[in-house]
Amino acid sequence: MDRERDGPGRDAAGAVGYRLFLDGYTAERLDRETVVVRHPEGARYRVDTLFATCTCGEAAEHRPCGHLLGYSALLCEQQAYEEAQVAALEARHDEWEMTLENDRAERILREMGVCEF
């Protein structure tokens, strides 16, 4: 990394931008050009992806901000997390249904006197 060219501010903002998900930020795409990035404690920043602007203080002072640099990765990581959560819930539901079916089958067999459990 060329510190003269990139500067320490850019490094810091880039690092922040790529760890938004880990730091508990969430993002919501409002339309094609607008994403709202939420800090875990509630602050909201509106990122305009077309004009590369953000409503936070860093961007207002023309410094690179993590919201702008990281919103895309945040949206991807958030979606992957949500999909993993849904898959885990579906797997637990399938397992639960299988248990229910087994219990039902055992009861029927017991009532028929076919076998004892």
Q: Which residues contribute to the site for Zn ion (CB under 5 A)?
A: 45, 54, 56, 59, 65, 67
Of the candidates 18, 9, 8, the one whose C-alpha atom is nearest the C-alpha of residue 67 is: 18
Give the list of residues 6+ apart from residue 102 with CB closer than 8 angstroms, or none: none
Cβ 64 to Zn ion shortest distance, Å: 9
Closer to Zn ion by CB, 22 or 114: give it: 22
Cβ–Cβ contacts within 10 Å for residue 18, how many? 15
Give the list of residues 6+ apart from residue 107 with CB closer than 8 angstroms, or none: none
Closer to Zn ion by CB, 40 or 110: give it: 40
Closer to Zn ion by CB, 60 or 88: give it: 60
Cβ 67 to Zn ion shortest distance, Å: 3
Cβ 7 to Zn ion shortest distance, Å: 17
